[in-house]
Structure 1
């Protein structure tokens, strides 16, 4: 069957690596066409797994690819779970092309990817920038000559069944191109989706305490906390982040993020407890002292509570570590662009004003005043500069 499919694929360039687009859908007629428009130019084959659409999604997908004259297949199946259905999807893709490109049915590309890189790369899986409020790295392209298994009830991870330690590449990580996770799929219509994820992940944690063949136990704790935070159950989130920090052999980036998230939760539910907030901020700094997030979060918190000196002491430490692109290349998880240049100097200039640091504050504003990232705040920043210029030293 695979040979017949490869004959269907137009390979005008015999050296070009072929790509199979893979996605799952259910009642996505309102968003899936944008996703298909985003990827069709780069693919040679497609496999779509529908798990029970009652709208026009199935016909829309078939009509779209018929119009583009791209071969592929749509198969229907009962929804069991992310791990089961995604694995089933990849099984249907297996060996029909060189690579699989896997997106959610509401994801779209922002910018133009250079998939010709695949013609000279040899990794088994490739990271891309993904944006959903913050940037993080996600695996989107997989070697389609290997068998893959998705693991977990939510926030799935993936295993290569043919190669225990599969190779990864960050060659597609670029500021000019990323995946936009729009969160507009049919699942987003459920206001309880994050809370339900938290409950499923909590059960997964207990179910993997003894038997954990896919190494899900520690991951279950972190993403239970994440899901509780996303569902605004902040006290539960704090408990599960703290549990994660007590575990052994965990990922340092998730340790860092747990400390940051606990501090954010405390600022929202118990802002008067500056001692405890500072404790978790300092824990994060001890993990990664070259990340701006903890310095910025605590500095802004201090400014808002009129603790200008303490705010300044934290914010000023971002000045030499505020190159977002450099940090983004180094770390995978949740690098917050809004905590780096020029946003850090904007907040730091506020501390300078209240500490009568006139020249220093003006210098910071001059460095950022024409930055496109803060164009919407330019009038306010100009006013702040006038306030600083009016200081009588």
Structure 2
């Protein structure tokens, strides 16, 4: 999900953002003048495209690419080597990053839509999608952390059960490096650990587990600095301990927020590489951090209170700069109801939560926190086991997509009011959905 950066933007691109406010099914699935599969010259450098949607099928090796600019919605199907455990968008939104965790590799599929900076203008391209020959290999790829529009770190957990033990590792990639078939830089750790790696420029925050840790999860962050194709250790951030560390996000103003057993750890990296860390308490464990590249200094921390049939998901607005956590109350989320999917719209001003009853809730930014917007509506069937529904935002239209594994459908939803725009029958059980294209 590329971040909004202050650089040259065509006037036509700005006007395009105004035009798309009027949503309709035709807008979703038929781009208004948007480019073909061939090339174009510098006089045709802007493509008004709704992008493409990547959909993975449960327990299958076929990855489908749907073109959202075509009313007939043609599909390209690409064969993978193994069923994916997760699918992500590359930092620039061009490639599908297809994780095959148990097979120790990551494959890549070119979505075929991308943007280049040509100095005096931004140039859009649209081609056919295609699988890439390059594979990124390593023990148990699990976490994927992005500096939006710039780079991403793939964290390999390692494998403590193998003989000899395979240790954790970090590999840094960009859209350009995926196209070249190489990593930008790599770091090999000395232990197997379920961790994370948050990149920002040449700096990297990754994990350490203290000898007296109460679980197998990390307890501290470490700072490293990229030197060529490798990393040099800078320091361990000992001033804040984060027991049960899991989940992370780095905001555009360099606040890295990490989930802990008793709240979150906020590590702020200065322009000079200095790191200031603080602990922000919450009454429950935070295991998921939801952030958006256009939200400076704010994330949403997510965790479950209770267990089993009484487990209930709770949400906290984290003001990373102020060091404050404020609980967000979703009125209809009663005891025993948990989150099954969540996601922001493309603006970062709307946050959607799908609960275990199939109801979609919407929260809207209201100053430093969030407020409920309208009543929840049932939009998806709820399976009794994974794959759970998934949410993905269109970065060029005010639409979010929701997979419905029970009905075998893709649900398109107006991101402004949460109303269902269309349901598309897929004919298979979707396990993951990811939007690719040019963010507007």
> TM-score, with normalisation over the residues of structure 1?
0.28
Q: Of Structure 1 and Structure 2, which has the larger fraction of its residues in helix?
A: 1
| Structure showing greater Rg | 1
Greater RCO structure (CA 8 Å; 6+ sep)? 2
> TM-score, with normalisation over the residues of structure 2?
0.25
